[in-house]
Amino acid sequence: MTHTTTPASAPGAPPADDPFRYGWRFVPRPTPDNPHHLEQAPLTLEDVLHPEVGDFIVHSDRHAIDRMYLTAVLRTRLEESGAAIVLSDVRIAWDVPDLRPHGPDVMVIPGIVERQDWSTFDVAVEGARPALIIEITSPETRENELEIKVDHYARAGVPQYVIVDNQSRRGARRLRLLDYRLADGVYRLHPPDAAERVHLVIADLWLGIEGDHVVCYDEHGAAFGDYATVVRQAKEAERRAKEAERWARREAERAQQEAAAREAEARLRAAAEARLRALEEELRRLRGEG
């Protein structure tokens, strides 16, 4: 596929002083010496809105930490029970005419039994769509999340769209949460609770802000730990599940072995008793008692 980029003077083009501010992709630029030559081309805001597989989109470290944290919490909450899968930084192709693919930070998709190695999740092919999308804004590209995606995700039929909005352009992050709920085909802004937290409906979790980062809370108000803690908890739960499975398998094998041993013992006892009866019968015959 041939990639095109927006000229530097066009709306949405990357700033002239930093053409790779939004990110980049590699595009074919054959040369006389190398017909397979690839050239690094800067992304525009439009490219960030509708990414292609292989695009590198620039995000801050704090953005990445929040995205990984939310992904880990939601996976721990939903995937063990089979309620939904959670995808992060995976491109999604819609089944809506004239609606091009997006690349959400986090999306929760119910109705999928088995996870696959998707680079693009195709709604029409998979027969499932997100019940929740979470986007974390970056100062340079937040107009995509705050304006355009509000319209696009509503058109795509996503029931809940939550934005973790970084309102600061420089220095310390200043975060707010925006919770859009689908009603009659359009999004309506849903107010947070008294603690300024947003209810993530499909996961029955509450999302809040502590300082410059997001925190998830369960239905009892207990906070989930940071990304590393959540990953450790998930690995520990997986370890316990595997250990329980191994124990159950060992118990089943032991029970099977004991049953086989009892059956073999019963066969030996029956054979011995039959042999004894045969010998007694032979002894009586020899004595003339038969």
Distance, in Å, from the CA atom of 57 to the CA atom of 51, rounded to the nearest integer, reads: 9
Listed by start position, the domains of the chain span 1-57, 59-225
Q: Residue 83 and residue 66: Cα distance in Å, rounded?
A: 22
What pLDDT is attached to residue 235? 66
The answer to whether 53 and 120 have CB atoms below 8 angstroms apart is yes
What is the structure's pLDDT at 230? 63
Section 259-266 average pLDDT: 80
- pTM of the predicted model, to two decimals? 0.73
Which pLDDT score, from 0 to 100, does residue 261 have?
78
Give the pLDDT confidence of 164-204 residue by residue, as tens digits.
999 987 778 899 999 999 999 999 999 999 999 999 999 99
59-225 belongs to CATH 3.90.1570.10: yes
